[in-house]
Every structure is written in C-alpha cells, then in structure tokens.
Structure 1
C-alpha cells in the first residue's frame, strides 16, 4: 500500500499532466502547431530550434554563441 506522501506526489503529477494535456489540446484547437512533410524536415526544424535556444542561453550567460 502506498504511503500518503507517494499518493500526494502521484496526485500532483496527475494534475500537472492533465494541465499540460489541456494546454496542448487548446493549442491544437487554435491551430498553433507545425506540420512536417517527413522526419528529415522535423529533424531540421528541431536542430534549428535547439541551436537558437543554446545560442540565447549562452548570450544570456555572457558566453560566446554561434
């Protein structure tokens, strides 16, 4: 039998998951998504976004970025 602490943790995780799912579904309803022709296009997009995040983080920390 799980402890009260474990149950509270699981309940919190479930609430967070439901909230995230709601946000995602609402975004889909508003048309806020991207479609890709194939996996390669998706990978290119993800690489581009990753580079932008890494660059912005480096700049915010005073480091060099590409």
Structure 2
C-alpha cells in the first residue's frame, strides 16, 4: 500500500467515524427516554467508548492530512 492509499483510507475512516458520532446524537436520546438504570449505565459506557475511538480516528486522520 502506498503512502497516498494509506492517507485516503485513513481519511475515509475518519469520515465514517464522524458519521458514527452524528448517528449517536440521533439515537442515544431516544434510548435514554425509556431506559432503566442498568441499561442507562451500559448506554453511557458504550457511547463513551465509541466517542473515544471515533475521535482518535478523526484526529489521526486530520494530523496525517495536515502533516507535511
């Protein structure tokens, strides 16, 4: 895989991670409305993990994009 292909695939995954964050903004409030306490804790932990991974991918893609 060339250096250009690596950048393109990383940027693709960065865009996909951004869409995942937008999807969480849409889905999570609906799930929180009727959730029990244990389910609420599980949702919050899952959202935190997904957000951390998505932000890591996005920042890595941005760093690679603007790094000369």
Pairwise same-fold verdict (TM > 0.5)? no
TM-score (ref. length: structure 2): 0.43
Considering Cα pairs closer than 8 Å and 6+ residues apart, tell me whether 1 or 2 has the greater RCO: 2
Q: Greater share of helix residues, 1 or 2?
A: 2
Of the two, which has the highest radius of gyration?
1
